[in-house]
Amino acid sequence: MPHRELLDPQGKTVGNNLKNLEIHSVEDVRIGKFIELTLGAKSEEEAREKVEKACKKLLANLIMEQYEYELKEV
């Protein structure tokens, strides 16, 4: 998700368009990415390390975005 302090022009546009659809009282819209990663790992620890590395090195732009994740066994 974009940091709270930053403008989110895409969210702003969507917010304005919701008004045109008669959906009122929308106070804020913020748009980020949702990424589903299916990966193999020997332990929860290893999975967490891989996901952290993927987020920091590729998936999130840490200057503009924050990230959070959830591990789920499948």
Task: State the binding string over 12-51 for a copy of itself (x if CB under 8 A, else -).
Answer: --x--xx--x-x-xxxxxxxxxxxxxxxxx--------x-
Q: Is 71 in the site for a copy of itself (CB under 8 A)?
A: no
Contacts of 32 (CB under 8 A, 6+ apart): 1, 2, 65
Distance from C-alpha of 32 to C-alpha of 69, rounded to nearest angstrom: 13
Rg (CA), the chain: 16
Q: Is 61 in the site for a copy of itself (CB under 8 A)?
A: no
Residues in touch with a copy of itself (CB under 8 A):
1, 11, 14, 17-18, 21, 23, 25-41, 50, 53-54, 57-59
